[in-house]
Amino acid sequence: MILLDRVTKTYNKDLGAALDRISLHVEPNEFVIIVGQSGAGKTTLMRLLTREERPSSGKIIVGGIDYDKLKDKDIPLLRRKIGVVFQDFKLLPQKTVYENVAFALEIVGIGRREIQNTVPKVLEIVNLKGKEKHMPLELSGGERQRVAIARAIARQPKILIADEPTGNLDPKHAWDVIRVLEKINRYGTTVMLTTHNQEIVNKLKRRVVTLKSGKVASDRANAGYEV
Amino acid sequence: MKRKVITFTRIVRTGITNFVRNASLAVAAIAVMVVTLTIVLFSLVTSATMNHTIAQIADKINISIYLNDSVTTQQSNNLLAQLQKLPEVKSVSYISKDRALAEYKAENSNNKDLLTAINETGNPLPASIQIDPVDPSKIDQVQKILTEPSTTQLENPQAGTSYSGDRKAAINQIAHAISVLKEVGVLAVVVFALVSMLIIFNTIQMAIFNRRDEIQIMRLLGASTWFIRGPFVVESVVYGIVSALISIALIDLVFVVASSALQASSLGLLDINYANNYFYGNFVLLLTLQLALGIVIGAVSSFIATRRYLKFRLK
């Protein structure tokens, strides 16, 4: 589902590589946690997958799309296939909760009736029923992050990438978010989660990939947190 | 096809919703657009009015050739025909001795002494040929005919032509001033239009700069270029339409107030009555022009302003 082959990303030659010959293979329906200290390269990895950045060298294939052959004008098509949850939510401040989720579907040109069916369902999955008409600023951090997740899963992507989705949340809300990710994974979505929340990693008992100074330090199934 | 229609209606609807939700920003942008569009419209009406006034002045400039009493009808008709053929001549008319006298009497009907004096002396006034030029600054060919010996020998030795000496200098000066004023009018309209376009462009660019994060988020979610840009263009076009309507209503109000409160028909060179007639006579044209200007500037500005945030800048 996700394949990285000796991927290197260098921003500044004097500072060394942010990612150094990373190779990683994620199977369909897997739940992978990427851990590592700040600066280990977690966010760079995510930005390469969403094509916000280009690798300096190496090969990336996601959902059958070879990034080397991807033209700039086709980037929107790639991003529509991947659901992304950002640490800072990235909700549209001018739109209501309902409209934020609907937006992801409108982009793809889905009809109004189908949107009216889908949005309440995904809002129910993330436990936000009844908040449809709220503006993002009227919600708590945890609620906002769940709106972002609802938006990411509304199109039923095969892959969901969540970059520190719990980074800004208190423990209770953090767990709400993680539960939703697990639920989505059970429905058949490949989930890639980055975090440095030790407790979450230890309790989830999933495959954990540890990054250290841009390299894969360990890659183990059913693992706990160790940096 | 169906998908395209859905997307198009969505773009329009989102644009209008954004317009309503961004009310405070919209008010600022519209205020700027109203002021600039009003200046353009005002300069347009003013320049048209000035042109009208100038045309009236230019109309009054004519050249008379005073003829010798001995000139035959044949000779004067020849000269008349010769002048008529010139493209720079609008019209030529022959004023006989009798008509000249009748006009003179009519002009001086209050002056009894003069009238009796004139009646006693017979008719001292010469017959004349009056030339109305198309453009008083372009009378080279007329001048050439006037200075030919075949013409000068027909002229009344005392009166000659009106196009000589001080009058000649005055005509030339007025003609020059007219052409300068016309150019200044056109230049002013063009400059105002350009400046207002720049100001409106800047305002819309700032409005979009404020919302660049939104554009980037939509980009990250995989929205296509037009799905993001469309609503911004629609919103700016709505700014343009609203501003054009307000601006034309403002000018309308100015005319209503001016005609009732000022009670004056002109302010110096500005003939208010004419400006009034011009404005209402060309109302549909001016309205269309304002709307077109507002819509085009709005659309183009938002198109350009969104472009930089829509680019994929892959590092």
Q: ipTM value, please give it.
A: 0.87
Clarify whether residues B157 and B241 are in a common domain: no
In a domain, residue B166? The reply is no
A and B: number of Cβ contacts within 8 A: 61
User: How much is the mean pLDDT over chain A?
Assistant: 90
Q: Is residue B168 part of a domain?
A: no
Distance between CA atoms of B295 and B238, rounded to whole angstroms? Answer: 8
Q: Please report the sign of the dihedral spanned by the C-alpha atoms of residue A176, residue A180, residue A186, residue A189.
A: negative
Number of structural domains (chain A) is 1
Check if A65 contacts B (Cβ < 8 Å).
no
Could you read off the pLDDT of A63-75 as tens digits, one per residue?
Answer: 989 999 999 889 9
- Would you say A148 and A83 are in contact if contact means Cβ atoms under 8 Å apart? no
Q: List pLDDT tens digits, range B67-108.
A: 888 778 888 888 888 888 888 888 888 888 888 888 888 888
The H or E element spanning position B251 is helix B225-257
Q: Which pLDDT value is given to residue B230?
A: 93
pLDDT in tens, A16-50: 888 999 999 999 999 999 998 888 888 899 999 99
* Separation between Cα atoms, residue A21 and residue A33, nearest integer Å: 19
List for chain B the helix, strand, coil content (%; round to 5): 75, 10, 20
Give the closest of B7, B21, B221 to A103, CB-based. Answer: B221
Point out the residues of chain B with pLDDT beneath 70. 159-160, 164-165, 261-270, 315
Q: Is residue A54 part of a domain?
A: yes
In a domain, A198, yes or no: yes
pLDDT for position A101: 96
Specify the CATH number for the domain of residue A202: 3.40.50.300
Q: Calculate how close chain B gets to A104, using CA atoms only, in Å.
A: 7
Choose among A11, A53, A106: nearest Cβ to B314: A53
- Report the pLDDT averaged over residues A142-168: 90
The answer, for A227 touching chain B at a CB cutoff of 8 Å, is no
CA–CA min distance B19, chain A (Å): 11
Q: Is residue B169 in a domain?
A: no
Q: Which pTM does this prediction carry?
A: 0.74
**Nearest of B68, B46, B101 to residue B255 by alpha carbon:** B46
Cβ distance B220 to A86 less than 8 Å, yes or no, reads yes
Q: Looking at the partner chain, which of B7, B211, B312 has a beta carbon nearest the beta carbon of A75?
A: B312
Per residue in A170-203, pLDDT (tens digit) is 888 888 889 889 988 998 999 999 988 888 899 9
Answer whether A79 touches B (CB < 8 Å): yes
Report the residue of chain B nearest A154, measured CA to CA. Answer: B221
- Which residue range forms the structural domain that includes residue B7? 2-57+177-310
* Range(s) of the domain holding residue A177: 2-15+26-91+157-223
Assess A92–B contact: CB distance below 8 Å, yes or no: yes
Q: Is residue B167 part of a domain?
A: no
Q: Is B21 on the interface with A (CB under 8 A)?
A: yes
Question: Going along A53-189, which residue ranges are E strands?
Answer: 57-62, 65-66, 82-85, 159-163
- Tell me what pLDDT residue A82 has: 92
Asked whether residue A124 is assigned to any structural domain, the reply reads no
B23 at the A interface (CB within 8 A)?
Answer: no
